[in-house]
Structure 1
Amino acid sequence: MQNSTRIKAKLSSKNQLTIPKVIRDSLGLSNQDEVIFQIDNGTVALKKGNDFWNEVKQQDKVYGDLSTGQLDWNSDMGEEVIFD
């Protein structure tokens, strides 16, 4: 069975809600992160929005660290020509 925690928060007079620190920490949220709200049958789920670098980190977990200076592009790379 999954652990469950209930946290209560109150809407401000401007209908704004501060995400409690426990939840921010649990989701790894920081300043300017996107948050996704998903509504299913009257229940709201909250998750951190994916940004590019978050996606890269997730890919690293699945496929390993792909950052290397030794990529072999063979002839597929082509030639870069810079015009002034």
Structure 2
Amino acid sequence: MNEINVIKVCSKITSKNQITIPKIVREFLEVKSADTIEWKIEPNGKVVIAKSKADLWQIINEQEKEFGNLSTAGVDWEKDLESEDFD
């Protein structure tokens, strides 16, 4: 018989109705500051928390912060590729 290891951790709700996600949960979900988590409430009263999948614009905004955009001065975008470059 397989025994499932269950880890139980608690968080306290602050006066502003905020909680801190315990480190072990953050590591398990692989979330960091500014990530979004999803709360799913099931009919049986169980609440499931999961890391939300990043949307396209969130990814673009993060990459723009790191790499700049087409109008960022000093970015060398290299030469444009032409169709004959793919022969």
TM-score tier by shorter-chain length is 0.5 to 0.7
Unaligned segments of structure 1, at least 5 residues: 54-84
- Structure 2 counterpart of 1:50, one-letter code: K
1:44 equivalent in structure 2: 47
The count of corresponding residues between Structure 1 and Structure 2 is 53
- Structure 2 counterpart of 1:7, one-letter code: V
Q: Structure 1 segments of 4 or more deviating over 3 A?
A: none
2:10 equivalent in structure 1: 8
State the 1:3 CA deviation.
2.1
Partner SS, residue 12 of structure 2: coil
Unaligned segments of structure 2, at least 5 residues: 57-87
- Structure 2 counterpart of 1:42, one-letter code: G
State the 1:35 CA deviation.
0.2
CA distance in 2: counterparts of 1:29 and 1:15, whole angstroms = 20
**Aligned-pair identity (%):** 34
CA deviation vs aligned residue, 1:12-67 (integer Å, no higher than 9, x gap): 001101100100000000111010001111111100000158xxxxxxxxxxxxxx
1:20 aligns with one of 22, 30, 36: 22
- State the TM-score, normalized to the length of structure 2: 0.56
- State the TM-score, normalized to the length of structure 1: 0.58
- Structure 2 counterpart of 1:15, one-letter code: N
